[in-house]
Structure 1
Amino acid sequence: MWDFMNMHGYYGGGFMWLWLLLIILVAILIFMLLFKKSDSIQSNRSEKSALDILEKRFARGEISEDEFKSMKKTLEND
């Protein structure tokens, strides 16, 4: 038999709000992890591309070996 509280959705409605809140929190966590991961991937790409450019400049003879070592050391420290 239905009682007053169950008939008006206090039990079911409360749990639905909890599920909705849980889903929203999980979605926020997933987005935060994805953006954090994409930022770290982007920074790795920029470091690699800077090092690639430096190696190409050295291979073409645009910079000396001492300049190459100095610039490479600077890139690796950042």
Structure 2
Amino acid sequence: MDYFIIVVTTAAGLYFHWWLFHRIRQWSDRDLALSFAEGDQDKRQYMLEQLARARREGVKRRELPAWLEQAAAQYSVSSL
């Protein structure tokens, strides 16, 4: 019974840390996208849509800042 308790608590702890790690990554990606919005509500919505698009297209995390910066520049050009 002792081993069962150890296994269950270890598995629960590992799952919690995995879940927390992924939530923090999602929050930081969202903050990155919103940092390009510069307080503009329309651009904010646009950048969140672009973040969702980047996830669907499978943009790697390392390439995400440059990808979002390019998307923000395209918004500035298209809004003029």
TM bucket (normalised to shorter chain) is 0.5 to 0.7
Structure 2 runs not aligned, ≥5 long: 57-80
What is the CA distance between 1:43 and its match in structure 2?
0.6
Higher RCO structure, 1 or 2 (CA under 8 Å, sep 6+): 2
User: Are positions 1:48 and 2:27 aligned together?
Assistant: yes
1:34 equivalent in structure 2? 13
1:9 equivalent in structure 2? none
What is the CA distance between 1:75 and its match in structure 2?
6.5
Structure label with greater radius of gyration: 1
Structure 2 residue identity aligned to 1:53: L
TM-score by length of 1: 0.54
* Pairs aligned (count): 55
Over the aligned positions, Cα root-mean-square deviation in angstroms equals 3.1
Structure 1 runs not aligned, ≥5 long: 1-21
Structure 1 residue identity aligned to 2:49: S
Q: What secondary structure is seen at the aligned counterpart in 2 of 1:68?
A: helix
